């Protein structure tokens, strides 16, 4: 603990060997940038995200609805297995002068640290997801 926290030195015997056969068929998606980029550097995020999702989807929120994505959104929790495109379409049509994007980031499930891992390791992915969702529904403010 002292060596890692106080001195910033990685303790080699505590590192996980990701080249082990157990990891061979696994592909990181949500956490792919964690440990590869400086979480405090937007420049590093841009450098590794060759075609940023925000650029890809900013042209049309209808494209999101047609994609039929379900259960894999980083920026929106899926409940009831309704696609986020459908949810965003409903909110987009709602008449309101002010709309918000909320990132819950709750660690309510015991032992589930996914939200924390993404928020600490690749916060730009969360912000980009919120921006995509905000664009799709017409929101101009977001809260984590």
The alpha carbon of 54 is separated from its chain's Cα centroid by a whole number of angstroms, namely 12
Indicate whether 74 pLDDT > 90.
Answer: no
What's the confidence (pLDDT) of residue 100?
93
What's the confidence (pLDDT) of residue 98?
93
Indicate whether 23 pLDDT > 80.
Answer: yes
What's the confidence (pLDDT) of residue 111?
66
Contacts (Cβ under 8 Å, ≥6 apart) of 9: 3
Distance from C-alpha of 83 to C-alpha of 100, rounded to nearest angstrom: 19
Q: Give whichever of 30-44, 52-66, 74-88, 103-117 has the largest mean pLDDT.
A: 30-44
First and final CA of the chain: distance in angstroms?
Answer: 30
For residues 58 and 15, which has the higher predicted lDDT (pLDDT)? 15
- Report pTM: 0.65
SS3 102: strand
Q: 100 has which bridge partners?
A: 141
């Amino acid at each position: 603990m002292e060596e890692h926290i106080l001195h910033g030195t990685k303790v080699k015997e505590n590192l996980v060997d990701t080249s082990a056969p157990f990891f061979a068929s696994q592909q990181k998606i949500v956490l792919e940038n964690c440990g590869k980029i400086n979480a405090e550097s937007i420049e590093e995020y841009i450098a590794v995200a060759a075609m940023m999702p925000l650029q890809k989807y900013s042209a049309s929120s209808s494209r999101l609805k047609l994609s039929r994505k379900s259960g894999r959104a980083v920026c929106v929790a899926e409940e009831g297995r309704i696609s986020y495109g459908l949810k965003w379409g409903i909110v987009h049509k709602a008449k309101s002068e002010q709309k918000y994007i909320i990132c819950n980031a709750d660690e309510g499930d015991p032992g589930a640290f996914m939200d924390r891992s993404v928020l600490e390791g690749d916060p730009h992915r969360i912000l980009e997801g919120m921006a995509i969702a905000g664009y799709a529904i017409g929101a101009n403010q977001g809260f984590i």
